[in-house]
Every structure is written in structure tokens, then in C-alpha cells.
Amino acid sequence: MTDTGTATASNLLVVDAGSSSLHLSVVDGEGRELAARHETEAPGSGTRQVIEELLRQAPPVAATGHRLVHGGPRLLGPTLVDDAVRAELDRAAELAPLHVPPALTALDATRRLLPDAAHVVCFDTAFHAGLPEPARTYGLPREWTDRHGLHRYGFHGLSYAWALDRAAALLDRPSRDLHLVITHLGGGCSACAVREGRSVDTTMGFTPLEGMVMSRRSGSVDPGLLLWLQTSAGLAPEEITETLNRGSGLLGLSGTSGDTRDLLRSAADGDRRAALALDVFTLGVRRGIAGCAASLDRLDALVFTGEIGCDQPEVREAVCAGLGVLGVTGGLRPENVHEDTVVSPAGATVPVLVVPTGEGQRVAQETRTLLTRHAGQE
């Protein structure tokens, strides 16, 4: 039987497995990283060995916390994993087939390696579980919606929850008083409207494919266009799925790279396709931010997080310079950001904040909170 009381006071293994990477870290009760390993490939047959090697180098761990992109319709918060929960996660995998299966590979490996530890899954969808009904509902027949559970889930929730708390600290105001738009810009990109501590709108939907143009994902496109590709152009659903998820976005537009750093250099050298890709991307981010702002009464601040949001000042400037209609202006401090900071000029009508991504830290927080609660019930 797992001793959750011991786990709350001990080291945690935090596992963040994506569609093309695996980040492992061992953290102590103060959130300090004691050991880490980063793999640039998705979890697979060698994942157990990778985790085992890290565990040999690190102090003993009493529990693991796992980031999962999707919890499906029933798992709406941090959850202790048992066999029934593990079966439910297989059903959630159908909704995010590029992201959840690799994460489950890592989860299964840790459960085999640490059979006496507590294993907790934390979901990106959980932050959006209370979306207002108009924001979560598609304009589809009620029969389809009810039969298939079709609604907008939203993603990047662990990143948003972390950024919300850090932004509140920067602004020296309680999160329950704030109306914010937070945008997570990385390999995947989205925006979220936060009203008084709760997500009230977001750009991603039933899957992480909806919304903004991303590194390799298309973002939203006309559904009629997709039907035309199948019925008139003769493309198979599998080809469309693969291209929308891995061959579109910045990569598809530029033909060379899905990395904004590469495209900025290429555009400066006169590459018109790279320049267009960046323009399409930043316009999409502005649209997403403006659309989310429509769900707020006011805009207390605009918050950037994610790798692009933190490390690409040129992209932040291009986004903010086009948001005058919201009271956001350009002229941001032009540096990469490695700590929570305000990058807008002093006295700006709408402060612009940058918060480095803290998904792993948030997983550790949620894992400890859940284990503490369970220990108190025993």
C-alpha cells in the first residue's frame, strides 16, 4: 500500500512527456531540482532505462507526478493512479493521440520501477473544466454533442495556473481580483481569458489542434476546406491528420523551419516565405488574444509564457505593437526573460508580463497538495 503521508514530505519525480520530448526532474519539498534529464524524443521502448538511470543518480523518491495533456471527460483534477484510472486514461488518449500515449508510456514505466510509490496524474485540461457553457459549446446538433461528448476542453492549463499565480504576485494583487489574458507560445500555442482566478475562454478546443497557428500545427482552418480535401482532392484522413499536426504551421508556411528563431534570421536575410510565416503567426496570436479579451470586462494585464513567449522578444513586440485596440502598446524591453518580470514601459495602460513556463513546478505543487489531502483522510 502506498504511504502518501511519507510521500508528501519526500522527493518527487516529475515527468513531463510530450509528443517529441521527455523531461524528468527530481525535486525536494521546497521545489528545488535535485536531478534532471531531458530527452529530445518522445517516450518509447527505451524510456524505462532512461528513468532508471536518473533514479540511480538521484536521491530516493516517494511519489511521481505526471503531466498529461488530456484527462478526458471524467478526470477533472489531479488524480492518484490505480488500475481503474489507468484504464480511463486509455480512453482519454483517443482525444489527444499525439500527446497522451507517450505520456502513458512514461507513466507505465514509473509504475513498474516504483511499485510502492504514489503516482499522480495532473491534466492540462483541468484548469478549463469550469468553462462557461457558451465558451465550451460548439455550434453542432445537440444529438452529436450528447452522443459523442463534443465540447471544448482547452489545454496548457498547468502553464496557465502557474502563470496566473506568478502574475498575481508581480502585480501585487490577488488572482481572484484579476482579469487577464495569458498566452502560452511554444511548440503549441494558445491563449486563455482568466476572470477572477478562473478560465472563462481559451483558443484550443476539443483537441490541441484548434486555435492559433503553431510551430508545426495548423491551428484552426475552415472545416469546409478539410471536407474538400477529402471529397475533391482525394486526400486520406490519415494524411490530413498527419499534415495538420506535424507538417503545417510555421514549418508548412516557411518550408524550412517551425522555430521562430530560425525564421527571424531567415527573414532578416530576405526570405519572404519566412517573413510571411512570422506575420501569419503573430496575426494569429493577436486574434487569439483579442478573442479571449472579449470574455473579460477589462484587461488588467497581458501575460506571455512558453518558450517563444519568454525567449523571443521580437515576437512579443510584433504581437503587442498590433494590439493598440486593447490598450496594449509596443516598446517592450527587448531581452530574453529568465524570471518573472514586467516588460512594458512604466505607466503602460495594460502591463505586459512575462512568466517563464512552470508546468513542472505546477505538477509538483498539485501532486503534493493531493497527497497531503489523502494523508489527512487516512
Q: Which residues are catalytic?
A: 124
**In angstroms, rounded to a whole number, what is the distance separating the alpha carbons of residues 187 and 219?**
12
Total Cβ atoms within 10 A of residue 148 = 10
C-beta of residue 80 within 8 angstroms of C-beta of residue 122: no
Instruction: State how beta strands 189-195 and 79-80 pair.
Output: unpaired
C-beta of residue 188 within 8 angstroms of C-beta of residue 215: yes
Helices (H), the chain: 4-8, 47-57, 83-93, 100-113, 133-136, 142-148, 157-171, 223-231, 237-246, 249-254, 260-268, 272-293, 306-311, 313-321, 359-377
CA neighbor of 362 nearest in space, from 31, 45, 93: 31
Backbone angles phi, psi at 178, to 5 degrees: -100, 145
Collect all residues with Cβ–Cβ distance below 8 Å to 317 and sequence separation of at least 6.
330, 331, 332, 334
Separation of first and last alpha carbons in the chain: 12
Backbone angles phi, psi at 41, to 5 degrees: -130, 155
